[in-house]
Amino acid sequence: MQAMPIAHHAEQAAAGPMSSMTGYPAAVLCWLLSAGVYIAAKWVAPEMPPWGLCFWRLTLACAILLPIVHRHHDAMIGLVRSRAVEIVAVGAIGLTLCQGMIYHGLSDTDATTAGIIMALSPVMTMVLARFVLGEPLGLWKSLGALLALAGMMIIVAHGNLTALLQLRFNPGELWIVGSAFCWGLYTVLLRRSKFGLELLPLVVLLLGAGALVALPFHLWELFNDERSAMNINGLLALAYLAGPGGALMYYLYNRSVETLGASRASMLLYLQTMFVAILAYLLLGESLHDYDLIGAAFIVAGIVLATVLKPKASHARIS
């Protein structure tokens, strides 16, 4: 959710073989902890409302990380003073709405299905970058986006062509699709904004902004949702979401970007989908449905077309 850290930030140069040796374990552990967010949120969904989960996760993760970035506090305060509206807008889209939608969706769909749909995010980012940033899409990226979209439709319609034609979809999966769209938009807006702050302190600012936006939704739940009372399961889930699945996950992602570079660290995101499926099977007793497998095959094919295949460069003649 989405619990994923910031991707597509400014590229960092890997410091050498030893750095990569520490960078890859940090990245793998980061995505394993991120997958655990889906499991914890699904486990507590019947007992804890989504916006309360979102608000407290963002607030506590921000509070845990704030002392770690103390050297950047002056720069963070300066950025808030000069660009507060942008920070709140980006934090609201990428953290409040993205995570709140995932938690909503997990009330009505499996964690495994949610993890597969969220794998669409990088493809959505490419498509949105075409319209927001004017980045060229090209033939292979366009075909990849269409294949990934087809895979998403198969999953949302549960492989039922009649449901697809009649627009009868599972509302939980539609929430997850909305979350993937928000994550793609967040990533594009982050690239366009160029806040000029290091990754981890920027994460802390955006966590705080996301918590601020989530607060009114949480207050509404306190008066209108019967699940508002916090119990032991909710506290345990929240402890994981804010600690290992929140602050530690963001810190590890920051470390992996510093050592591997943003592109390589972000590509390991696809491990999250595999980890979600394994953990959901082991801890929640979920299994993959036929439509999950078919949809996942389309999404993987789309990702390969969009991210692996490159157009041949045209070489001009020099006469």
Per residue in 157-191, pLDDT (tens digit) is: 777 777 666 666 778 888 999 998 998 888 888 88
pLDDT at position 1, please? 54
The two three-digit tokens of residue 195, written as one number: 């806040």
Beta strands in 254-304 (DSSP E): none
60 vs 259 pLDDT, higher one: 60
Cα 17 to Cα 108, 253, 259, 290, 298: the distances in Å are: 45, 18, 9, 42, 35
**Whether residue 18 has pLDDT greater than 50:** no
Q: Is 236 left (phi over 0), alpha (psi -120 to 50) or beta?
A: alpha
The number of beta carbons lying within 10 Å of the beta carbon of residue 215 is 16
300 token code pair:
């993987």
pLDDT score at 210: 96
In the three-class reduction of DSSP (H, G, I as helix; E, B as strand; rest coil), residue 205 is classed as helix
Buried b (16+ CB within 10 A) or exposed e, 110-126: bbbbbbbbbbbbbbbbb
Q: Which pLDDT belongs to residue 202?
A: 92
Distance separating alpha carbons of residues 31 and 26, to the nearest angstrom: 9
Place of tokens 């030893």: 18
Contact by Cβ (8 Å): 233, 42: no
pLDDT of residue 15: 46
Q: How far is CA 63 from CA 5, 165, 207, in A?
A: 16, 47, 9
Instruction: Map residue 169 onto helix, strand or coil.
Output: coil
In terms of Cα–Cα distance, which of 91, 115, 110 is closest to 32?
A: 115
pLDDT computed for residue 139 by the predictor: 79
pLDDT at 154 over 90: no
Contact 199, 9 (CB under 8 A): yes
Virtual torsion, Cα 73, 242, 41, 284, nearest 10 deg: 140
User: What pTM was estimated for this model as a whole?
Assistant: 0.82
